[in-house]
Amino acid sequence: MTVRGAGVLVTGGSSGIGRAIAQSLAGAGADVISAARRDQETSGRVRPLRADLARPSGCEDAVTRAAAMLGRLDVLVASAGTMLIDDVTDATPADWETMTSVNLTGTTESVRAALPHLLKASEGPRGCADIVVIGSISGRRPTPGRAVYAATKAGLRAFTDSLRQELASTGIRVSLIEPGLTATGLRAANSPATLARMTARTPELHDVTPLSPGDVARAVTWLLSQPASVSVSELTLLPTSQGA
């Protein structure tokens, strides 16, 4: 199996894990559309797409435009996400709504919009199509300050579990990737004071050498290279020094 020539949409592809995935798949020969709110530049086989993935209509529009640009859609990588951390007693409903709309609804709506295109692609030369959802170890092992963030990621686990069963008789594979601590800019959306307070609550993470976005990207490229008869349903990636 190869991704060479496959049409791929990566949401949240302007930075962090999403950007690394887009570049890795393009390096393997895929034609990639990187959808994000921020402006991007074309880079080799990666083409930008401005999209508001916090709105259902924005997700559907992004998928429709990406499929038109590619002429097909073989793979959807749902990587868009945000993390606004704080204790439940101090968090704001607006922050919770932002995380829910981007992390959970943005992913489910992107998948829903992509399904007709992926069903068609599953009958093509690859013999399958793929949905890859980027979750988080927080969905399994929440830590203080991440209650709603963890809830959105746990929701993605339930969503992919159900979706995988619904699509078992089709040629669409569904994979969930759950990285541990990863060196991205995800925490930058929080104030320094909040970050300092929350960091003090998780001393066990202070000495962890985090994953790089490239570590996650290589895992995605690997699972997409498996034979059509093989589905990598869930994959947890932890820094060796994180342990648990």
The CA distance from 216 to 178, in Å, is: 9
- Residue tagged active-site, from 145, 149, 159, 194: 149
Residue 91 sits at the vertex; the CA angle it makes with 85 and 96, to the nearest 5 degrees, is 75
CA torsion sign for 122, 118, 32, 139 is negative
In the block, residue with structure tokens 């038109």: 68
- Rounded to 5 degrees, φ, ψ at 76 are -115, 125
Give the full edge-to-edge strand order of the sheet including 46-50.
Answer: 46-50, 31-36, 7-11, 75-78, 129-134, 172-179, 234-237
- Answer yes or no: are the C-beta atoms of 36 and 14 closer than 8 Å: yes
Contact 178, 151 (CB under 8 A): no
Q: Is 149 a catalytic residue?
A: yes
- Beta-bridge mates of residue 236: 178
Q: Supply the residues annotated as catalytic.
A: 149
